[in-house]
Amino acid sequence: MTESNTQLPAPVAKDQSGRRRIWPLWLLTLLTIALLVALALWNWQQWNNQQALQQALADTREDVSRLDRMYGDSGSEQSERLRALESKLADQRELIATQQRQIDHNARELLEAGNRTRTDWLLAEAEYLLRVANQRLLIEKDIRGALAALEAGDDVLEESDDIGVYPVRQQLAKEILALKGIADVDRTGLYLTLEAAIDSVNRLTDDALVHERAPGFVTRADEALGDEAGGEPGLLSQGWSRVKNTLADVVVVRRLDEPVKPLLSPDQSAYARLNLQLMLEEAEMAVLRGHQELYERALTKADNAINDWYDDTNPQVAALTQTLDELQGRNIDPQLPEISRSLELLKARLEGRRATGNGDNSADGEDSGDEENAS
């Protein structure tokens, strides 16, 4: 037993030191893995932070651009408002300067007014009246108003007691006499008459239009009855009246010795009334403008239209025709005289008084004495 045991191979002892050397490697691996995970987490966090910063930077840039646009628009609006205020300020300055010049002018006028006499005021009033007369006659063709203004101016010149206005009053007398020799045109009356004629045209019915019973269309029964009109009514006339009632709608004779008037449809009758109304309105405009040729032409056309389209036996048509005939003889544009010579003479007199120091000394002395006595 001892020998056998001695012959067996000796047991090998296990290497404990190898196991002891492996665990630091595992520890290092674990630390590396943890470090890598931590580094990955840190990188992911940094990336998120970078993305957030970029987004914040983009938002900041957008806000800055929006603020720039807003402040840019506000700046332009402020500039426009500033320019508008400057323009308004310039206008206000110009207005103030104008008012200052007007005040200075009024002050000079007041200072000069203190040196004016009663005659100067009367001559200025007469000049104004003569200007009004010329305006009434030349622009408005108002003969009556121009005559009244001239007569009022002559009365003022008479009150002035200025010997230098004698030529003016002499010319005024001629002009007043010339105006009195002109027949005044009653434009208001003519216009109202034409308005009444237009209203009469609007009231015309279709019965006033040309129809078969109008002149130019005569029945045989009417001719037979007309032949017996000179005799006394008898059996023959009664018989003809009965026959007439029977044959009036059957036998119609058209006479060729009178102009034939065409029949109108309802639409044409409305057109005829409108056309006639326009012609009368044209005559009204001619009255207001004082255009004699246009006035006569419009009334002639209206009269021809009535003769062509309407029955002259109708009372309304006959009255309208008579009215137009009366209006055609009116003169709405008489020859107007020249009345500006007196105004020119008065202006010359006023300029002469200003140049010589308010006129003659004798006249001024008389006026001053009159003012002192009046006071």
| Alpha carbon separation from 27 to 30, 31, 32, 351, 358 (Å, rounded) | 5, 6, 9, 130, 133
pTM of the predicted protein model: 0.44
Q: Are residues 254 and 178 in the same domain?
A: no
Cα 73 to Cα 134: distance, rounded to the nearest angstrom: 61
Is residue 66 one of the residues assigned to a domain?
no
Q: Are residues 289 and 151 in the same domain?
A: no
Q: Are residues 197 and 271 in the same domain?
A: yes
- The dihedral sign for the CA sequence 181, 323, 198, 271: negative
Max mean pLDDT range (152-156, 229-233, 354-358): 152-156
Of 113, 65, 270, 284, the closest CA to residue 188 belongs to 284
Q: Are residues 145 and 173 in the same domain?
A: yes
**How many other CB atoms sit within 10 Å of the CB of residue 84?**
10
Cα 142 to Cα 134: distance, rounded to the nearest angstrom: 10
Is residue 48 one of the residues assigned to a domain?
no
Is residue 285 one of the residues assigned to a domain?
yes
pLDDT band at residue 31, thresholds of 50, 70 and 90? confident
pLDDT at 16: 53
pLDDT at 367: 42
- Which residues sit opposite 209 in a β-bridge? 310
pLDDT tens by residue, 66-100:
877 777 666 677 788 888 888 888 888 888 988 88
More confident: 248 or 348: 348
pLDDT band at residue 170, thresholds of 50, 70 and 90? very high
3-state secondary structure of 217: strand
Is residue 230 one of the residues assigned to a domain?
yes
| Alpha carbon separation from 296 to 121, 214, 306 (Å, rounded) | 47, 28, 15
Helix (H) or strand (E) holding 268: helix 266-289
Helix (H) or strand (E) holding 300: helix 292-309
pLDDT at 132: 93
Exposure string for 11-47, b = 16+ CB within 10 A, e = fewer:
eeeeeeeeeeeeeeeeeeeeeeeeeeeeeeeeeeeee
pLDDT at 5: 52
Chain position carrying tokens 């207005």: 95
| Alpha carbon separation from 160 to 363, 367, 370 (Å, rounded) | 10, 9, 11
Q: Are residues 287 and 321 in the same domain?
A: yes
pLDDT band at residue 48, thresholds of 50, 70 and 90? confident
Is residue 28 one of the residues assigned to a domain?
no
| Alpha carbon separation from 239 to 201, 221, 235, 245 (Å, rounded) | 41, 11, 6, 10
Is residue 4 one of the residues assigned to a domain?
no
Q: Does residue 323 surpass a pLDDT of 80? A: yes
Q: Does residue 348 surpass a pLDDT of 70? A: yes
Based on the structure, what is the number of domains in the chain?
Answer: 3
Is residue 176 one of the residues assigned to a domain?
yes
Q: Are residues 326 and 340 in the same domain?
A: no
Q: Are residues 191 and 278 in the same domain?
A: yes
Residue 162 and residue 345 in contact, taking contact as beta carbons nearer than 8 Å: no
DSSP 207: G
pLDDT tens by residue, 273-295:
888 889 999 988 888 888 888 88
The packing angle between helices 341-355 and 118-138, to 10°, is 150
pLDDT tens by residue, 6-19:
555 555 555 555 55
**How many other CB atoms sit within 10 Å of the CB of residue 298?**
25
Q: Are residues 139 and 223 in the same domain?
A: no
pLDDT at 203: 81
- The dihedral sign for the CA sequence 348, 354, 356, 360: positive
More confident: 263 or 30: 30
pLDDT band at residue 336, thresholds of 50, 70 and 90? confident
Q: Are residues 190 and 179 in the same domain?
A: no
3-state secondary structure of 218: strand
pLDDT tens by residue, 117-146:
788 888 889 999 999 999 988 887 788 888
3-state secondary structure of 253: strand
Q: Are residues 307 and 222 in the same domain?
A: no
Cα 212 to Cα 316: distance, rounded to the nearest angstrom: 18
pLDDT band at residue 207, thresholds of 50, 70 and 90? low
Average pLDDT, the chain: 76
Q: Does residue 216 surpass a pLDDT of 50? A: no
pLDDT at 206: 63
> Which residues constitute the domain of residue 305?
186-210+264-333
Q: Does residue 2 surpass a pLDDT of 80? A: no
Cα 152 to Cα 130: distance, rounded to the nearest angstrom: 9
Mean pLDDT of 195-214: 71
Q: Are residues 193 and 327 in the same domain?
A: yes
pLDDT tens by residue, 288-316:
888 888 888 999 998 888 888 887 788 88
pLDDT at 358: 54
Number of helices (H), then strands (E), in the chain: 13, 2
Is residue 31 one of the residues assigned to a domain?
no
Cα 37 to Cα 149: distance, rounded to the nearest angstrom: 117
Cα 95 to Cα 86: distance, rounded to the nearest angstrom: 14
Chain position carrying tokens 């029945």: 219
Q: Are residues 290 and 201 in the same domain?
A: yes
pLDDT at 113: 58
